Amino acid sequence: MVKQTIQIFARVKPTVRKQQQGIYSIDEDEKLIPSLEIILPRDLADGFVNNKRESYKFKFQRIFDQDANQETIFENIAKPVAESVLAGYNGTIFAYGQTGSGKTFTITGGAERYSDRGIIPRTLSYIFEQSQKDSSKIYTTHISYLEIYNECGYDLLDPRHEASSLEDLPKVTILEDPDQNIHLKNLSLHQATTEEEALNLLFLGDTNRMIAETPMNQASTRSHCIFTIHLSSKEPGSATVRHAKLHLVDLAGSERVAKTGVGGLLLTEAKYINLSLHYLEQVIIALSEKHRLHIPYRNSMMTSVLRDSLGGNCMTTMIATLSLEKRNIDESISTCRFAQRVALIKNEAVLNEEIDPRLMIIRLQKEIQELKDELAIVTGEQRTEALTEAELLQLEKLITSFLEDQDPESRLEVGADMRKIHHCFHHLKKLLQDKKIHEKSTVSSEIKDQNCQEPLKEEEHKKLRDILQQRDNEINILVNMLKKEKKKAQDALHLSSMDRNEFRHSQSSPFPPGNPEGPRTLPSSAPTQVHDSSAVGYRSSLLHRKTEMREEMSLGRQEAFEIFKRDHADSVTIEDNKQILKQRFSEAKALGENINEARSKIGRTLATLDQGKEGGKNGPVYSLALLHILLGSAMRAYFVFNNFFLGGANL
Ligand code: ADP
Ligand code: MG
Q: How many helices (H) and strands (E) does the chain have?
A: 17, 17
Phi/psi of residue 225, nearest 5 degrees: -120, 130
Res. 12: pLDDT tops 70? yes
Give the span between the Cα atoms of 617 and 614, in whole angstroms. Answer: 9
Amino acid at 429: K
Measure 69 CA to ligand 2 centroid, in angstroms. Answer: 18
Ligand 1: which of 9, 13, 325 to mutate, most ligand atoms within 8 Å of CB? 13
Q: Name the DSSP class of 272.
A: B
Kindly give the distance from the C-alpha atom of residue 194 to the centroid of ligand 1, in angstroms, as a whole number: 28
Residue 102: CB within 6 Å of ligand 1?
yes
Residue 153, beta-bridge partner list: 148, 172
pLDDT of residue 551: 61
Query: Residue 623: pLDDT above 90?
Result: no
C-alpha to C-alpha distances, 15 to 12, 65, 527, nearest whole angstrom:
9, 11, 182
pLDDT at 446: 66
What gap in Å lies between CA 443 and CA 440, rounded to an integer? 5
Burial (CB count within 10 angstroms: exposed 0-12, middle 13-18, buried 19+), residue 319: buried
Report pLDDT for 516: 41
- CA atoms of 185 and 203, how far apart (whole Å): 22
* Cα gap 533→184, rounded to integer Å: 137
What mean pLDDT do residues 624-645 have?
60
CA dist list (Å): 337 to 22, 36, 247, 281, 342: 20, 11, 23, 11, 9
Task: Count the neighbouring beta carbons within 10 Å of the beta carbon of residue 420.
Answer: 19
Question: What integer pLDDT is reported at residue 578 of this predicted model?
Answer: 87
pLDDT for res 649: 42
- Report the candidate in 65, 36, 63, 77 with the shortest Cα–Cα distance to residue 316: 77
pLDDT band at 136 (very low <50, low <70, confident <90, very high): very high
Question: In this structure, how many other beta carbons lie within 10 angstroms of the beta carbon of residue 419?
Answer: 15
DSSP, collapsed to helix, strand or coil, labels residue 217 as coil
Ligand 1 atom at minimum distance from 101 CA = 3
CA-based nearest residue to 250, from 123, 126, 108:
108
Q: Does residue 364 or residue 511 have the better pLDDT?
A: 364
HSE of 428 in the Cβ direction (CA atoms, 13 Å)? 13
Beta carbon of 111 within 6 Å of any ligand 1 atom: no
If you measure from the C-alpha of residue 102 to the centroid of ligand 1, how many angstroms do you get, rounded to a whole number?
4
- Residue 492 above 80 pLDDT? no
The answer, yes or no, to whether residue 505 has pLDDT greater than 50, is no
The answer, yes or no, to whether any atom of ligand 1 lies below 6 A from the CB of 101, is yes
- With cut-offs at 50, 70 and 90, classify the pLDDT of residue 622: low
Cα separations in angstroms, 479 against 267, 459, 475, 546? 124, 29, 6, 17
Has residue 641 got a pLDDT over 70? no
Q: Are 284 and 6 in contact (CB under 8 A)?
A: no
Residue type, 136: S
pLDDT number for residue 548: 60
d(CA 649, CA 492): 7
Average pLDDT, integer, range 409-419? 83
DSSP 8-state code for residue 520: T
Please determine, for residue 351, whether its predicted confidence score (pLDDT) is greater than 50. yes
Across 175-203, b (16+ Cβ under 10 Å) vs e yields eeeeeeebebeebbebebeebeebbebbe
Q: Yes or no: say if 266 and 242 are a contact pair by the CB < 8 Å rule.
A: no
**3-state class percentages of the chain: helix first, strand second, coil last, to nearest 5:** 55, 15, 30
Which of the four pLDDT bands, split at 50, 70 and 90, describes residue 503?
Answer: very low
**pLDDT tens by residue, 38-56:** 988 766 444 455 556 678 8
Residue 199 clears pLDDT 90, i.e. is over it: yes
Entry field: residues in the chain: 651
CB 512 within 8 A of CB 530: yes
**Can you give the pTM of this predicted structure?**
0.59
Q: Quick one: 336 exposed, middle or buried, by C-beta within 10 A (0-12, 13-18, 19+)?
A: buried
For residue 496 and ligand 1, the question of a CB distance below 6 A is answered with no
Three-state DSSP at 44 gives: coil
Which residue from 152, 182, 178, 156 is spatially nearest to 169, judged by alpha carbons?
156
Span from the CA of 202 to the centroid of ligand 1 (angstroms): 18
Residue 140 has pLDDT above 90, yes or no: yes
Per-residue pLDDT reduced to its tens digit, 586-606? 999 999 898 899 888 888 888
Q: Shortest CA distance to 646 belongs to which of 573, 567, 588, 575? A: 588
